[in-house]
C-alpha cells in the first residue's frame, strides 16, 4: 500500500530534503508539493526544483486546496500558526498529518491533541531514530540516577533557528521530569546570570547555544559528586529527520484516529 505524501513548504531547505527522502522511500510517493502562492517556482516540477535531476510529474501548487485530491498524509515542518491551520484543513478533508513544527504553545498543543479524536496525527519534536532511542535511555538513567543527580540539558543549533530551547530539548526534559514525577514547568531553569546561589537539587537546567550551521546537538547530563553520565545525540544531516518523517507518514496511513509520536512509529 503506497502512501501519497504532500509536503508543505516544499521549496524550503527542509522541504527539498523531504522530497528527496520521499523519492527514496519504499511504500511512499510524492503526491503534492505546496509552496507560497506568490513563489516564482509555482508550476515547476517538484523533482527538478529539489535538485533530483529528474521530473517527478508533480507540479508545485500554491495551496492545500489545490492539492486536496492528490495526497493521503501531509508532512508539515512550518510554523505554529501555519501548522494549526493545516491541522484544520486535514481534519476537514480526511487527511493524516505528520508534524515536525516546534515552538507550539500549550494551548496549540491542546488543540492538536483534541483534533486527534477526529483524525490521524504524528507529532514529534524530532524524527530521528537516534533521538527516539535516547528518550528510552533517558528514562532508564532518570530512574537509576535521577534522585542523586543534578540534571542539565545542553542543546546547540544553527543560527537561523527561531525557537529556544529546541523542541527536542524540551521533550528530553519532559521525559526526565515525567520519570521523576516532577512537573517540568515547576523545575525547569532556562538560564542563569549573576549571583544565583547554590543550585537546587530538584531542577532541570537548559542551556541553549546558537551558531553556524549546526544541524542539532543535544546532551542530557546527570552529574553527581563523584561521576557524571551524559547521553548525547548529534545530527549530522537533515536527511535523518526527513527519512523519519516519511517513515511516520507511511506508517500513519494504516492507523486509527489519534495522536502518535515516533515511539509509536518505531514500536518502542
Query: Annotated active-site positions, please?
Result: 157, 161
> What's phi and psi for 206, nearest 5 deg?
-120, 130
> Which residues have CB under 8 Å from 168's CB, separation 6+?
102, 125, 126, 131, 155, 216, 218
Amino acid at each position: 500500500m503506497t502512501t501519497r505524501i504532500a509536503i508543505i513548504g516544499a521549496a524550503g531547505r527542509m522541504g527539498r530534503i523531504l522530497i528527496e527522502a520521499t523519492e527514496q522511500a519504499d511504500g511512499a510517493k510524492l503526491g503534492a508539493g505546496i509552496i507560497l502562492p506568490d513563489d516564482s517556482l509555482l508550476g515547476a516540477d517538484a523533482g527538478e526544483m529539489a535538485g533530483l535531476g529528474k521530473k517527478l510529474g508533480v507540479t508545485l501548487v500554491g495551496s492545500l486546496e489545490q492539492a486536496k485530491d492528490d495526497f493521503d498524509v501531509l508532512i508539515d515542518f512550518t510554523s505554529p500558526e501555519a501548522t494549526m491551520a493545516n491541522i484544520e484543513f486535514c481534519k476537514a478533508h480526511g487527511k493524516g498529518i505528520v508534524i515536525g513544527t516546534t515552538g507550539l504553545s500549550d494551548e496549540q498543543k491542546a488543540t492538536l491533541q483534541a483534533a486527534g479524536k477526529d483524525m490521524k496525527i504524528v507529532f514529534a519534536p524530532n524524527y530521528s531514530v537516534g533521538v527516539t532511542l535516547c528518550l528510552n535511555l533517558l528514562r532508564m538513567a532518570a530512574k537509576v540516577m535521577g534522585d542523586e543527580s543534578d540534571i542539565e540539558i545542553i542543546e546547540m543549533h544553527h543560527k537561523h533557528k527561531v525557537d529556544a530551547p529546541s523542541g527536542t530539548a524540551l521533550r528530553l526534559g519532559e521525559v526526565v521530569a515525567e520519570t521523576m514525577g516532577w512537573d517540568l514547568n515547576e523545575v525547569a531553569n532556562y538560564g542563569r546570570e549573576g549571583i544565583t546561589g547554590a543550585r537546587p537539587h530538584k531542577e532541570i537546567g537548559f542551556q541553549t547555544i546558537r551558531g553556524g550551521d549546526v544541524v542539532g546537538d543535544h546532551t542530557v547530563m546527570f552529574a553527581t559528586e563523584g561521576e557524571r553520565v551524559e547521553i548525547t545525540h548529534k545530527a549530522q544531516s537533515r536527511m535523518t529527520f526527513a527519512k523519519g518523517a516519511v517513515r511516520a507518514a507511511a506508517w500513519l496511513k494504516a492507523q486509527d484516529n489519534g495522536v502518535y509520536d515516533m515511539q509509536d512509529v518505531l514500536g518502542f
